[in-house]
Structure 1
Amino acid sequence: MDARDVVKIGMSAERSLVVPPERTVGHFVPNMPMVYATPMMILEMEMASADAIAAGLESGWVTVGTEVDIRHLAATPVGATVRTVARVVAVERRLIRFEVEAFDEKRRIGEGRHARGLVNVAAFSKRL
């Protein structure tokens, strides 16, 4: 499968979540603040990126994260709503590049770039 046949620049998706205690730095690291953890923000950015292109993929194909270049700009407390946006900015044969952003109710809290590789699940599983 060639991603250029089904993924187009500009495809996008959004995700929203209310920050639970389980997604905070303080949940993972004792004595740290109970604010939205950077790895959890990146997870939402990756998932929004996958959502943006999932409908166009042929059966048996998925994408996996291959690159992240993210800046976490502001702390977000438990209970705040975070909206994550991903938009396709480049498509290669097996690689899709995204611009990603995250916002809470007040401001942009994260931004950057992410790439996902196109993978045939059956062939990938054989190699494992």
Structure 2
Amino acid sequence: MDARDAIKIGMSAERMLVVPADRTVGHFVPDMPMVYATPMMILEMEMASADAIAPHLETGWITLGTEVDIRHLAATLVGGRVRTTAKVIAVERRVIRFEVEAFNDKRRIGEGRHARGLVNAATFMKQLGAG
């Protein structure tokens, strides 16, 4: 599959999350604040990116995160609402690039770029020795 045949610049998706305790820095690192953890924000950005294009992939094809360039701009407490967005900004044969952002009720809390690689799931698993 060539991503340029199915994925178009401007495709987008968003995700909503109420921050649970198990996605905070304090959950992972003792004595740290119970605020939304940067890796968890990046996870939501990756998932929004995948959501934006998954319906357009041929059967048997998936995307995997390959690059992140993210800034975490502001903290969000447990119970805070976070909206994460992803928009396709470039499409290559096997790489799709996204602009990603995250917002809480007050402001933008994260921004950056993310890339996903297009792979055939069966071939990928076979190369790993798992299929």
TM-score (norm 2): 0.97
Instruction: Give CA-to-partner distance per residue, 1:8-29, whole Å, 9 cap, x none.
Output: 0000000000000000000000
Paired position in structure 2 for 1:30: 30
Paired position in structure 2 for 1:100: 100
Q: How does 1:20-99 map to 2 (within 5 A)?
A: 20-99=20-99
- The aligned length equals 128
TM-score (norm 1): 1.00
Identity within the alignment, %:
81
- For residue 57 of structure 1, report the CA deviation from its aligned partner: 0.2
Paired position in structure 2 for 1:13: 13
Instruction: Give CA-to-partner distance per residue, 1:1-50, whole Å, 9 cap, x none.
Output: 00000000000000000000000000000000000000000000000000
- Alpha-carbon separation, structure 2, partners of 1:67 and 1:9: 18
- For residue 122 of structure 1, report the CA deviation from its aligned partner: 0.7
| Structure 2 residues not aligned, in runs of 5+ | none
